[in-house]
Each structure stands twice: as C-alpha cells, then as structure tokens.
Chains A and B, each alone.
Chain A
Amino acid sequence: MSSKESCRTELRAAIRQLSDRCLYSASKWAGEQLVGIELDPAKFTPSNTRFQRGSSSIRRRFRTNEITLTPIAGVSYVSTPVMEEDDAVDGDFYLLAKSYFDCREYRRAAHVLRDQNGKKSIFLRCYALFLAGEKRKEEEIIELEGPLGKSDAVNRELVALERELLMLRKNGSIDPFCLYMYGLVLKEKGSENLARTVLVESVNSYPWNWSAWSELQSLCTTVDILNSLPLNNHWMKDFFLASAYLELRMHNDSLAKYEYLQGTFSFSNYIQAQIAKAQYNLRDFDQVEAIFEDLMRNDPYRVEDMDMYSNVLYAKESFSALSYLAHRVFLTDKYRPESCCIMGNYYSLKGQHEKSIMYFRRALKLNKKFLSAWTLIGHEYVEMKNTAAAVEAYRRAVDVNPCDYRAWYGLGQAYEMMGMPLYALNYFRKSVFLQPGDSRLWIAMAQCYEKEELHMLEDAIKCYRRAVNCNDTEAIALHQLAKLNAELGRAEEAAFYYKKDLERMEAEEREGQNMVEALVFLATHCKTQKRFEEAEVYCTRLMDYKGPEKEMAKSLLRAIRIARSGFPSTDVEHFPP
C-alpha cells in the first residue's frame, strides 16, 4: 500500500476533480476516506483531530490482531499519476452550466455546453443529459402506469449518448470520466460485457471514482467474473474487492480485506459500516451493535446503513434504543428508505403491524428496489396471519434478488402455515441451498418434514444432523434428533444425542423440561442396557426435580437395586475395573 501521505494527496486532488464534474456522491465518498486516514498527531493541533476518534472503544474491545502495514505478499501497487486538468481556467460557459447543474436544471446545463469542446465540458454535458433522461424516465414510469402495472420506461437520451461516446472512444479522445459515462449508458442498455470492459478501462486510468467502481461491482454477479477482470493494483482496488466479496456473500474474505484497509483508513466510517454489514451477515449481532454505537457517536446524522442497526436492535428487542434511533433518523431525514425501514421496525417490535407495513411501503415508494422492505413486509403479514399477502410480498423480494434466502425461507414458512408442508419444502430447499450454513433454515425444514401430514422422519433426521453441524445456537436440533431416534426405536443413537444434549445444557447452565426428558430417557436406557451405575447417576440427578419424574426416578432406583441383587454377576461383566 502506498503511504498515507500519498493517499491523502491523491484523494485531495480527486475530490476537486470529481466535484468539478458534479460527480457528487463519488466525491463524498472520497472525502470520507480522506478524513478517515489517520493523522499524524504530532503535526496537527487537537482541533484538527476533533473529528477523529481517539476514544474508539470498539477497536479496543474487538481488535484482536494488530494490522501491519505491510502489503499482501506478491502485490505490487501501481501508482497512477494524478490527472492534469486540461484547461486551467474554466470557460465561462462551463461555469454557467455548472451552476445550472447545481440547481438541477440539467437540460439547461446541457444546452449551454452544446458547442464546448473541453473534456470537462463534454463530460458535464453528457452527464447532464443522462440525468435529464433519468429524471424524465422516473416521471414517465409514474405517468405510464398502465392497467397491468408499470411498464419499463426508458431513458430516451441513451441512444444519442451512446452514439456520441462511441465516436469519442473511437477517436481516442475520451477521458476516464467519459468512459465511466459510457459504461453507465451501456449498462442501462443491457450490454453488460462491453460495459464491464469500458468501466475497467475507466477505473484503470482513473481509480478514484468510486461511482465507477460501484457500477462495475453491480456487474460482477459471480466470482468468476470478478476474478477475470483485468484490474491494475491500486489501493482503490482493495476497496472494490472488499465490497464485491461482501455482495457475493464471501463474508470472511471481505472482512479480511477491510481489516487490512483499516490499517491506513483507520477512521473511515464507511469501512466500519461495511465491516458491520459483514458481521451482520455472519450473525455476530453484539459486534454489529458495538460498531454502530460507535458510528452513531461520531457521525450522529448518518442515515446510510442504519436500517441494519435497527434490525439488530429488533432482534435484540431493545425497545428504547430502537425508538431513540427512529427518532433520530426521523429528525435527520424522514424521507429516506432507510429511515422508513427503521420506523417500520419499531412499530413491528411494538406489535403494530399495520403501521409498520405502511412505513415499509413508504420505503418502497422511495426506492422500488429496496429489497429488504419487501421481505420485512412479508414478515409483518405473516405476523398478521395474512399468509397470501405475505407470499406475494416475499415473492416480490425474490423477484428483485433471487439470492435472498430470507425471502425464500419466509415463503416456505407461509406455506407451512397454510398447511401445505410438501409445497413449503420446495422453498426451504431453495433457502438452504443459498445459505447452507444457517442452522435455523435446516431446523425449519426438518420441522416441516416432521409435520403430521408428511411424517417423513428419516428426512427430518437428516436435516437436524445438518443443523447440528452448523452450530445450532438454540440447541433445538440435538434434542429433536434424540427424540426422533427414540421414536424410531433406535435407542443407541437416541442415547448418544441425549447425552450430547445433556453435556451442552450443562455447559450452558440451562435447566428445564429438555433436561428432565434427557435424564429420564438416559436413566431408563441405561437400566435396560444393564449399565446400572450410570443409570443410578441419572436417577439421582432426576431426584432434584419435582413432579412425576421424581417418583419415576425413585421407582427406577428401586428396580435397579432389585436387579442388581438378582444378577450380581452381570454387574461385574458390564463394568470391568
């Protein structure tokens, strides 16, 4: 990795260049990373470090290994020269156009720049045209809503833009920004392969445009595609790869990359949020919560990714924290899909499902492709016992992203509720295929097999076994495995699983009905196997409980004593010294 200082200079130049071209979100991203680089405390006064956290608690709590700044073996980084601006003095027309653009008068901006030949001007004109087309497209989608739904409106500027950019590219007079533009247009038109090549070209010649990277990422739907991209080794590539791994559900790879990046950008909010995302997918809720608490302290007006935080709070049922969060984002910007989801989550936790559906719907209105809202609406309908509507909502989620295992799982659950376990199995199969490491899915599937209508116990046992292998935190699977095996008359296996379950309960210091059941079974089993001493141990443990089990233990003990006195020889046989 290049030194912090060079990163800093590169980013500073990039921010200026990006905002000159009105690529605001890319420049925002670059700005965040710039501030995220750890400052040299000797050089700066405390007022400069005010925005950076010296008191980061989570880093102390969770960082296990110190990250070194040595680059990954075998990777040599390419330093891309900072781009020189072609016209030092901006033209008057450009200045006018930029102010129009800033006022969101895109067509006007494009018109002003119609005869300008500077690279900046050309890009700005194309970009303005593209945005004008997008704006019109959004409007048309609403206007054209036919009897059978919204038909896909198209951006009418694409054809002209594509033609112009193609000419530019053929002439060789295209700059990286226009290449980005060209890639965007191609992606919109559906020619993904070409779009990918063009975007790679763009990021190789100008790596600091995060928008280009994220477009490229959305075109990498499989690992093979990702690995086949001919990318230069720049530190921006690490950001890209980390984010792409996250999207491709390679969470651990992604985490490793981010932790490595944190060596340089140790104060980047973005990286923290991404780490939280990965941890969330790995279901480490405690850490996610800690990270978000930290984020909230440093960046109190942040809305991005906060819906994930609310999911965690929901799962942990912390009412007050969730309400605090909801209040905060409401005051910051209530018309963001994320804020709507947070409020929806809050109402859902409160059990007011109609209201929460309303908020989720609002989130969808703000962003049609806001996937998690569909899934959450499905959950709400399931809570409201409106299974048909739940099915429809989940299906829409799946249509948006066919890899969303939660929605497939939800579909299965809904059908199971309707008394169609066989049909539900199709969906459970899909969801475990996508997320084979999640014990909850396996347990759900097993329970489906166990249903009275199906009663396919062998298959249920297979599923429970998988669940046990997947580190089943709630310990349902072991107990069920034991029970099912007992039911099928396989005493040895049942005993094995009961014993395991018992060990686990002991380790986790849990008591309860399961414990009693396990003890009763093991006691009787050992007795029938004539392993009296073991049986006695279990019986005496049973004596600690009240109720019929105590009586049972007593009678068992009595029976054991009689059996022992009757057949002393067998006793010796079974328990060699």
Chain B
Amino acid sequence: MAGIIQAPEVFGITPHKVSVCVLLQVYAGPNRACVPYPFSTVSQHNRLGLFLLAHTKSCDDIVDPKLEDLINQLRTIFSSSADWLLDHLTSRLSSLSSPDDLFNFFADMRGILAGFYDGVVEDGQIILDPNSILGIFLRRCILAFNLLPFEGICHVLTNIDFYCKEVLSGCASYEAALDDSGHDLEATSDYENMDLEKLVYEKVTEEIEAKRRAGEKIPFHLHTPTTLIGLVEDFNISAKAKFKESSKAKEASPYAFCVDDSLKDMDGVFLRSNWQIQGFLAEQADAIEKRGSSFSLNAFELMLRQLEKLAPELHRVHFLRYLNSLYHDDYTAALENLHKYFDSSAGTEGLDVASPCVINNHGRFEVALLCQGMLHFHFGHPKQALEVLAEAVQVSQQHHNDSCLAYTLAAICNLLSEIGISSTSPLLRSSYSPIARMGTSFSVQQQLFVLLRGSLKRAESLKLKRLVASNHLTLAKFHLMHVQRPLLSFGPKALMKLKTCPINVCKELRLSSSLITEFGSENSVMTTDGAQSTAWLKNLQKPIGSSVFLEETISGNRPYASSFFAQPSSIPGSVLQHIGSLQLVRATAWEIYGSAPLARINTLAFANCFADHSSSADAALAYGKLIVYLATYKGYKAAFAALKIAEDRFLSVSKSQMLTVKLQLLHEHALHRGQLKVAQQVSNELGVMASPVTGVDMDLKTEASLRHARTLLAAKQFSKAAAVAHSLFCMCYKFNLHVHNASVLLLLAEIHKKSGNAVLGLPYALASLSFCQSLNLDLLKASATLTLAELWLCLGTNHAKRALALIHSALPMILGHGGLELRARACIAEAKCYLSDPSFSVSKDPEMVLDSLRQATEELQLLEYHELAAEAFYLMAITYDKLGRFEEREEAAASFRSHIKALGNPQDEVNHEPM
C-alpha cells in the first residue's frame, strides 16, 4: 500500500534463533561417521531434525520460547542423551561474549550449508541443502546478521546474556543485574505482576458476581453453569491471595509502586518472526470464532496488549481485538477496533481473501464494510447490516473486487435467510443488477432465491470453493423451509402444486460436501503446516503459556494421538467445520421431514466426527438436538442427566443454545406434571431471551409464544390460548414461516378439541394436514391425522370407525418415528375408538384394548404426564370392570387416583425438581 511507514526488514536475530542455529550445527555437524557424535541411532538424529523444523515453523505464541522451555523440550525428546546436547548448547551460548564471537559463530554456520564452498564434499558428511526449510532458515539468519549494524550486534549480545542468565542463575535477571536489593524487592516484583492481572480478575469476578447475585434473587435463573462459578471462585482465591501479598507490600512502603509489567518483561522477551506471529494470530482468530463467548476475553486481551507494545506496527492486533470484543458482545469496542484496523492497514494486512492483484491504491475498504455488516448482523441489527452491506456491494463493484462482492452477496443471503422480512419493499437500495431488475413485483422469498442463485454462480466462476460450499448450504436451508414457487407465474399453469423439494435439499447438501475433495488445491498449506508444528510441539508437554484458553475443556477428553511420526490429519479445520455444519443441516432436515432415527444418526455422526473442529455454537446445537431426542423418546430423567453434562461442557453464558434447550425441557416437564405456574414462568423466560428487534430471533419468538399458548391451553383458558395462537399464526404468515404455521394450526385444532368444540377444530386440523403434505412434514402429518381422529371421536360414537381408520393409517409413522407422548396418545385414542365402537365387544377381545392401554401407561409414566396417564388408567379400570377382573380394576383405579392427586397438588413434587 501507499504506506506511510515502510515495513523494514522482517526477520530479526533473537537469542532463540541463535540457539536453534547451535542445534543445527550439531545436527549437520562436520562429523565423518554416518551418525554424528551425540546420537546413538539414526532415529534420534532425525528426531532432532524434526524438532528443529517444528521450531522454525510453529506458531503457538507471539514470543520466542525461553531457554528453559527449550531445554525442557530437549530433555523430553532425548531422555538419556540430552545432557551432552544441553551442555553444548549452554556452553556455546555463554561463550558468545564479544561481538567478534558472534561474527565467528555466523561464519562457522556457513560451513554447514552446502554450496557455499564449492570444494569437495567428503563422503558421509551431512550437509544442509540451502533450499530446504532448515537451509532457508539458516540462510535468513546469516543474512539478517550480516545486515545488522554494530549497535544491533551489541543488542543481540545483551539479549543472549539475558536469555542465558534466566536459566543459569535461576532468578529474575533484571533485579539481580542491578544488584541493589532492598527488602521490598520481592514485593515489588509481585506487585508488578499483579497490576494487570488484578484488574482482569476483578473485572471478571465482578461480572460473574453480579450474575450470580441475579441468580440468587430469581429462582429460575439457574442458567449460569456451576462450573463457571467454580472457575470464577478459583480466580477469586488466587486474585485475593495475591492481593493480600501486595497490600502487605503496600503497608511496608506507603507509596507503593504501581508498575506496568512491561518494564520487567521487556528483557528476555523476543518476538517471533513476522509470519509466525501472523500464523498464531490466524489460529487465535479461528479459535475465537469457533468458541464464541467461551473464549477467554481478558487473558487474550492481555496478550494482545503485550503484542501491541512489542510490535506497534502490527495492525492485525486490532482485528483480533475486534473479534474478541465481537464475540463477547461489546459493541462499541468491536466497532472501534474494526475501524482502527482498517484505517491503519487499509485491510491489506493479514487477510487472505483474494489474490494480491486486487491490492491497489484504494486499499480494501470494501472488506471493512463487509465486516461492519457482519458485526451488525451479529448484534442483531438487520436494518443497519443491510444498509452497510449494500454499500459494500457498491464499493466492491466500484473497485472491481469480485471476490469481495461474492462474499458480500453471500453475507446478504445469509442475513436475509436468518431474519424475517415482512415487507415486500425493495430489499436493497443498491445498484446490484439482478435485484434492481426484479423490481418489487416478486415476493421477498423469490428475491432471496434469485440472490442466492446469483451469489452461487458468482462464487463458482471465481472458484471460491468454500464460498460455493457455504452457498450450497444456504440454498439447502432455503429449500428446506420454503415452498418452491415458479418465478414467472401466469397462464393456466400458474396453479402448480406447491411443495417443498427434499430432493433439492439433498442435492445441495451433496454438492456442498464435495468441498472436502477439492480443498487441496487451495493455498492454505502454509498455515496448516505451521499449525501442525505447533500441535507437535504442544504434544511434547503441557502447553507453556496458553493454558488459559481452555484447551482441555474442548478437546481434552480425547487423548492426543501423540507420537512423533503420527500422520496429522491433512484436512484443514475450516473444511471439517463446514462439513460438520452440513451434517447438522442434514439432521435438521430429517427432523423436519419427520424421521427420528435418521435425524439422530446424523446428529450422532456430527458429535463423534466433527465436534472437535466445529464451532461451539454448532456443537451446542447438536447436543441440544440429542437432549431433546432423549426427552421425547426416553423420558426426562435421561434428558436432564444429559443436559447436566452438556452444560458443563458449554461454559458459554450468553445467547446459549443450551439455555433454550433447558427452558424447553423444563416447560415440557412442568406442563406434563401440571405445574402451570412454573410452566408460565419458563415460557416467559424463553420469550425474554429473544431480541426485541423485529425480524430477529424469529425461531425463538415463535417457540416462546407457541409455548405460551400451550400453557394457557393447559390452564383451560381456551379463548386466551386461541387468541395467542391466532396472533402467532398471523406473525408466521407475515414472515413466511410456513413450517411453523403447520404446527400452529395443529395447536389451534387442539385448543378447539379441548374446549369441546370439535366441529370448529376440524377445519384447522385439515388445514394443518394439507400444510404438512405440501411441506413434506411426515411426522407432523401423522400427529395431525391423530388429532383429526380424536376430533371425529369427539363428535360421537358413530364416527368411531372413521376415526379408527385414520388412526390406523397414521400408526406406522407414529410407532416408527413418534415420541413417547405421541405414541401414548395414539394408543389411548385407538383404545377409545374400540371402546366406543358399538360393534366391538370388549369381552371378546380384551387384549386389543388392554395391550395398547398398558403400553400407553408405561410410556406416560416415563414422561410423568399425569393427565393422560390418569385417563389411560381410567379407561383400563373401566375395561377391567367390564371384564369383571376386580382385583386388577382396583389396581388401575389406585393408579388413577395417585395420578389425579399428583395433578391436583403439584407442589408436593416441587422438591423433586430435576435441576
């Protein structure tokens, strides 16, 4: 760019590099033997080579490792023969005491490079190919040294001095060097360490403390996972302990120092080479995006602050700070840092979105707009996001940045498919031709579809594979939720059958997954390489500095397949992440189409194969799905147990998927046990979770008001329930949420059935049925059929035959895929049909009725669904009575009474509260 300050030489000599050079000399020393001296076997020799390779490439931190760490690593690798190596290393380093020594050292280093002296190479001598990675590293070191001015050499010398001193003397070098020990020396250093930490701890502690206080007040805010609180308490203790020490120091010296920790740290801390830092930052960025709010805000902020101090011209720091504050919901800081990053680097540093030819005088400010759009999207401001993205479209067209345009369009598609749009007014105030051409004659959905296709085509022509894949994914989601309509509808053919296309969904998903075979051609090889080296070094021993990043909680439960020669997975993490989310969409599709086993299998596959690589939001979604599955098919006990495990795993506090799942479960449970007050409270809480902005969090909003209506229904406030359901239907219609509409209609039918107005319920049930048919919602259709049958049954005994036929038609689906409640309902309905059918005599074929009733009671007891269970037992008792089996009748009657009793005073069971 037209940068004001030119970036100077990128590779600097640090003490760590010098010690790698020393080791290189050992590795490729001029020994004649086929295995050089210190090594007993060839494999040991190779191991050193691998170790050095990893050190030149790894990007696990911003600063070079200390000598102490290096020594420990060497000890781990060469348990027995390490001593000679370490002695050699330290003696060599400490022998460098004058500038001339350094000159000679680097002159010697030339010797191990082949080709520098084109003399005869003797047999068996190990030489370093100058074009190998290690060779290039060595050459860069030599070159960097030769470019150093005398002052620079002096600095390298003092740095090596610090570097060695920390290990050799084992005490803090700086104070020792000063040799001016006062009694408050230790206190000082303690305090120095404290200053920032204390601040961070206090902040975190305050935050969480506030949350916990809130939790104590309202009994239902049990949402902060206990582990998190535990974690904070740990922090508390350590912070307090330290604070005590420092306050003691304060007492001793009333004017205590308040020292930035940088002062001490500056010595003995050396930055890694530029691209190692960039690699590290890229990894951290991925980690933030993956883990969302469970990523530690303050620890990372500390690291960034240090990096900013050491390398003020590295603007990437601001971008990471932006990401960090974005995922911790700090709007102002995120916006501020985003602006800062793009202002100071024009977006040309560190982003590898497009080919370098795009970089021109304009910089890449369209990327800034894209990022700002995503920021607004993240914070749930769809209107602002659309405005900004429209400007991004304009600017990228203006600057001919096609790839940015493609990404922007994809972002717009994503935005539009996530939020609900009610109006048919033009979506974008932009000059983007496909949209502008369409005008307003099309519905929002059609516009979105056209936009999606256009964006896909653009991505394909630009060969942006990941984008293509994610576009396919968005298209699949679109097909899943929307009825396909022809774009041009006139003439007699206009009245086409409206249906969703499961085939299209499958096709898009398959196309999207072809990414995994194609990723190889992309140029992300370098970063993966660095990441491998990092992983390799990390496996060597516990992570050195970055244990704060909760490495253990996410992937720690799987032991590392750590051996030196293990083949690391060569698929980049982002591809795996994408495939993972694809798997989840597939699971969702099956869920909607109503195949429980397939949905479960897909979710399980995701949890097993991709959970480690996917974002925490995705993983939480999958766990949520599995828990809901457990609740509907195995009862609440299992579900709550699973929920506890999942909550421990997902420490995230805000906007958590887990919280939604938990509230859903609690609501369902409360409804079944007849605790209406609790149910009401929970459904209200669910409603509060959604953002107040129109069009945002539509799923959550529909879910909440659906549950509200169901609670009212359970409380027998039929008219209120119907009103809520009606308004919900209107909202769903307004925002084109047809899949939700099917269930709302079913709920309305249910309300009318319960209120004893079966005739009114029939049209709703039929409407729901036809919705289900056109949207391919098979399970929901079965349950609608069941409701229809129940309605017919309500109309009188003469309709029993018809009802029975309906139930029988739905039974295969219900028994194959339905949950406990649905199955029980079907069984009871079937039994009722038989009992009310005048042509059926109980005494002739009692098992027909008793069998299904028995099954129903078993399932209902698992669910603790008192109302239905009571009904089942009642029917059972009647049947037994008819059959004259009095003992069994009494038993059933007793069960009936107990269920009725439980329903009557739910307070008794409150102390059995699962959570």
User: A-side interface residues toward B, CB under 8 Å?
Assistant: 139, 143-152, 154, 158-160, 162-163, 166, 169-170, 186, 189-191, 193-194, 377, 386-389, 391-396, 398-399, 411, 415, 418-423, 426-427, 453, 455
B260 close to A190 (CB less than 8 A): yes
Q: How many interface residues does B have (CB within 8 Å)?
A: 60
Q: Quick one: given A152-B262, A419-B394, are A411 and B313 in contact (CB under 8 Å)?
A: no
**Could you tell me the distance between the alpha carbons of A389 and B253 in the complex, rounded to whole angstroms?**
50
Give 10 closest A-B pairs by Cβ, nearest first.
A149-B313, A191-B258, A148-B311, A395-B343, A388-B363, A389-B2, A147-B10, A149-B312, A148-B314, A143-B151
Contact yes or no, A148 B368, CB < 8 A: no
Do A160 and B394 have beta carbons less than 8 Å apart? no
Of the candidates A144, A194, A395, the one having the most CB atoms from chain B within 10 angstroms of its own CB is A395
Q: Write the chain B residue with the least CB distance to A159.
A: B178
Given A147-B7, A154-B266: A386 and B369 interface contact (C-beta under 8 Å): no
Q: Specify which chain B residues have a CB less than 8 angstroms from the CB of A162 in the assembled complex.
A: 257
CB–CB B314/A422 < 8 A = no
Decide: B311 and A420 in contact? CB cutoff 8 A.
no
Determine the residue in chain A with the shortest Cβ distance to B144: A147
A-B contact pairs, 18 of them (CB 8 A): A146-B310, A148-B271, A151-B271, A151-B309, A151-B310, A151-B312, A152-B309, A154-B263, A160-B180, A166-B255, A191-B257, A386-B2, A391-B363, A396-B4, A411-B343, A419-B398, A422-B388, A453-B391
Q: Are B180 and A388 in contact (CB under 8 A)?
A: no
Query: A193 contacts B4, CB within 8 Å?
Result: no
Cα-based distance from A154 to B567 in the complex (angstroms):
46
Q: Could you tell me the distance in whole angstroms from the C-beta of A385 to the nearest C-beta in chain B?
A: 9
Distance of A139 Cα from B255 Cα, bound (Å): 31
B343 touches A189 (CB 8 A): no
| Minimum C-beta distance from B37 to chain A (A) | 36
B312: nearest chain-A partner, CB-CB:
A149
CA distance A415 to B342 in the complex (A): 11
Q: Contact at B263–A189, with CB atoms within 8 Å?
A: yes
- The residues of A that contact B345 with a CB separation of less than 8 Å are 392
Instruction: Establish whether residues A392 and B4, one from each chain, have CB atoms under 8 Å apart when the complex forms.
Output: yes
With most chain B CB atoms within 10 A of its CB, the pick from A159, A388, A396, A427 is: A388
Q: In the complex, A163→B4 CA distance in Å?
A: 41
Q: How far is the CA of A216 from the CA of B600 in the complex (A)?
A: 68
- B44 touches A (CB below 8 Å): no
Cα A142 to Cα B9 in complex, Å, equals: 14
B346 at the interface (CB under 8 A from A): yes
Residues of B182-212 whose CB lies within 8 A of A: 182
Separation in Å of the A424 CB from the closest CB of chain B? 10
- Collect the chain A residues with CB atoms within 8 Å of residue B391's CB: 420-423, 453
Say whether B737 faces chain A, with CB atoms less than 8 Å apart.
no
In the complex, are the beta carbons of A146 and B12 less than 8 A apart? yes
Across the interface, which residues of B come within 8 angstroms of A145, CB to CB? 8
Whether A423 and B369, one on each chain, are in contact in the complex, defined by CB atoms closer than 8 angstroms, is yes
- The answer to whether A143 touches B155, judged by C-beta atoms less than 8 angstroms apart, is yes
A330 to B53, CA, bound (A): 57
For the complex with contacts A160-B178, A418-B365, 13 further pairs of A-B residues with Cβ separation under 8 Å are: A145-B8, A147-B11, A148-B271, A149-B311, A149-B314, A150-B313, A154-B266, A159-B263, A170-B255, A190-B260, A398-B343, A411-B343, A418-B395
Interface of A is mostly: helix
Interface residues of B in 340-399 (CB under 8 A from A): 340, 343-346, 361-363, 365, 368-369, 372, 387-388, 391, 394-395, 398
Question: B344 and A148: CB pair below 8 A?
Answer: no
Taking CB atoms, residues of chain A closer than 8 Å to B310 are 146, 148, 151
For B258, B339, B343, the residue with the greatest tally of chain A CB atoms inside 10 Å of its CB is B343
When C-beta atoms are compared, the residue in chain B nearest to A387 turns out to be: B362
Chain B residues, CB < 8 A from A194: 255, 258
Given contacts A419-B398, A422-B387, A422-B391, contact A191 B2 (CB under 8 A): no
Q: Does B3 contact A (CB under 8 A)?
A: yes
How far in angstroms is the closest Cβ of chain A from B196? 11
- A147-B395 in contact (CB<8A): no
Q: What CA separation (Å) do A158 and B311 show in the bound complex? A: 22
- Contact assessment for A392 and B3 in the assembled complex, using a CB-CB cutoff below 8 Å: yes
Query: In the complex, A216→B309 CA distance in Å?
Result: 25
Measured in the bound complex, the distance between the Cα atoms of B263 and A186 in whole Å is 13
The reply on B274 being an interface residue by CB < 8 A is: yes
* Distance of B432 from chain A, by nearest CB (Å): 13
Cβ contacts under 8 Å, B362 to chain A = 387-388, 418
Tell whether B5 is near chain A: CB-to-CB under 8 Å: yes
Instruction: Tell me the minimal C-beta distance from B197 to chain A in angstroms.
Output: 15
CB-defined contacts of A150 to chain B, threshold 8 Å: 312-313
- Given contacts A377-B4, A388-B2, A423-B372, is CB(A166)–CB(B253) below 8 Å? yes
Complex interface bits, B625-668 against A, C-beta within 8 A gives 1, otherwise 0: 00000000000000000000000000000000000000000000
Q: Is the CB of A191 within 8 A of B259?
A: yes
| Cα distance, A399 to B341, chains bound together (Å) | 12
B7, B263, B394, B398 pick with most chain A CB within 10 angstroms: B263
Taking the complex as formed, is B152 at the interface, i.e. its CB lies under 8 A from any CB of chain A?
yes
> Smallest CB-CB separation from A423: which chain B residue?
B369
Cα(A194)–Cα(B259), bound, Å:
11
CA distance A153 to B262 in the complex (A): 10
Task: Please name the residue on chain A nearest to B14 by beta carbon.
Answer: A146
Interchain nearest-CB distance for B581 vs A (Å)? 30
Determine whether B689 belongs to the interface, using a CB cutoff of 8 Å to chain A. Answer: no
Q: Are B344 and A396 in contact (CB under 8 A)?
A: yes
B54 shortest CB reach to chain A, Å:
22
CB-nearest residue of chain A relative to B344?
A: A395
From residue B339, how far is it (CB to closest CB) to chain A in Å? 7
**A87 vs B361: C-alpha distance when bound (angstroms):** 67
Given contacts A388-B362, A391-B343, contact A148 B313 (CB under 8 A): yes
A509 to chain B, nearest CB (A): 43
Q: Is B335 an interface residue (CB 8 A)?
A: yes
CB of A552 to closest CB in B, whole Å: 35
A170:B335 contact, CB within 8 angstroms:
no
B759 contacts partner chain A, Cβ-Cβ < 8 Å: no
| B residues less than 8 Å from A399 (CB atoms) | 340, 344
- Give complex CA distance A149, B376 in Å: 33
Distance (whole angstroms) from the CB of A136 to the closest CB of chain B: 11
**With A151-B311, A163-B182, A391-B343: A419-B395 Cβ-Cβ less than 8 Å:** yes
B152 to chain A: which residues have CB within 8 Å?
143
Cα–Cα, bound, A442→B662 (Å) = 50
User: Which residues in B have their C-beta under 8 angstroms from that of A455?
Assistant: 429
Q: Is B1 an interface residue (CB 8 A)?
A: yes
Contacts of B344 in A (CB 8 A): 392, 395-396, 399
Shortest C-beta distance, A142 to chain B (Å), equals 9
B431 to A, closest residue via Cβ:
A453
A residues within 8 A CB of B365?
Answer: 388, 415, 418, 420, 423
